Structure 1
Amino acid sequence: MIPSSAPPRLILASSSAYRRELLARLQLPFEAISPDIDETPQAGEAPQDTALRLAREKAAFVAARFPGALVIGSDQVATLDGLQIGKPGNHARALEQLQLMRGRRVVFHTALCLWDSRALEPAAAAQIENVQVFVDFRDLPDAELDAYLRIEQPYDCAGSAKNEGLGIALLARIESTDPTALTGLPLIALSSMLRRAGVPMFGL
């Protein structure tokens, strides 16, 4: 890393309002820029590998355009029985997802990449980690699932439930080492990465 007296520019490579809200908790100045990448899973790619690859590609895409910046990339893939569960996009698909997941355990892979474009060696630029969250869904009737979706309309969320909102009532249990990972940005892991990159916390 190239020494510098000034804090590096911090960029969140995301258009997600959820990730912006989470990153704002650290009270560090940052900007959000949407990365223009293809998020389609590759043939035969394991779900966690998809999440890790996309987190890295998002960060690298933005970092290439902003030399000297620290860029945060993140991606989340939900899985049931090893199969990916994406963003539903509409009510009908969201209801199908919730019906499939009720009474079951779903694994959310939230991948995080911090790309330090100050690194002298490209191979050393990226810190990357996959944080798993295990979520048990309640076995609820169709009427409750449908009513929830009409209230919160979580059609842009993998797994069709906003755990930070009313969707928490659909869940029976959450297990993770990083509680914000389920919402889309693992702040415990990110704080560690930022410290290793020399970013001062608490204004110090």
Structure 2
Amino acid sequence: MGALPHRSIHTLSKRYGPLMYLQFGSFPVVVGSSLEMAKFFLKTHDSVFIDRPKTAAGKYTTYNYSDITWSPYGAYWRQARKLCLTELFNAKRLDSYEYIRKEEMLALLRELHAASGRVLVLKDYLFTMNLNVITRMVMGKKYLHKEATEDGTTLEEFKWMVGEWFVLNGVLNIGDSIPWLDWMDLQGYIKRMKKLSKMFGGGLRC
């Protein structure tokens, strides 16, 4: 599959069409790679394909599949989805936090203006702005630059944790495809996942 599996799959789809049957280690995988196939899997037959496979990432980085992203379809998932829609993402709740988004956007623009003339990594500023919006909405205060939480996690450490989470939830872990090799952790991903889980275990309860 190479270092960029999504590109490898795209290349294969151009050769073999929008619906392919692949073998990932011990497991057969059907891949849809067109708008029509996306509708087929995610809309027409969504109840059949709604479950996600149990992977190491789901086990170690989301508290044993308890996150809505990785939890199996069932009563727990439906309740979690309902809470997200009614308490976090409904239009009234989002509108009530509009002032927070405006304030943080203005703060971002002031920072960028103050740093004019220097080379900037824009994604770092955008990450901080989004983090401040989220923490103000959820915890009532923002994660100030260089300020540590009660467990000692700084903003820079938290940035690394979030980046590592995204990386590890997107990797192809050999043990997920060939279970009898899982215990060997050939790529070192499981070790990284356990470390990250331990760090989030304290950081998310601050």
Alignment TM class, shorter chain as reference: under 0.3
Relative to its length, the structure with more helix (as a share) is: 2
Structure number with bigger Rg? 2
Structure with greater contact order relative to length (CA < 8 Å, sep ≥ 6): 1
TM-score by length of 1: 0.25
Relative to its length, the structure with more strand (as a share) is: 1
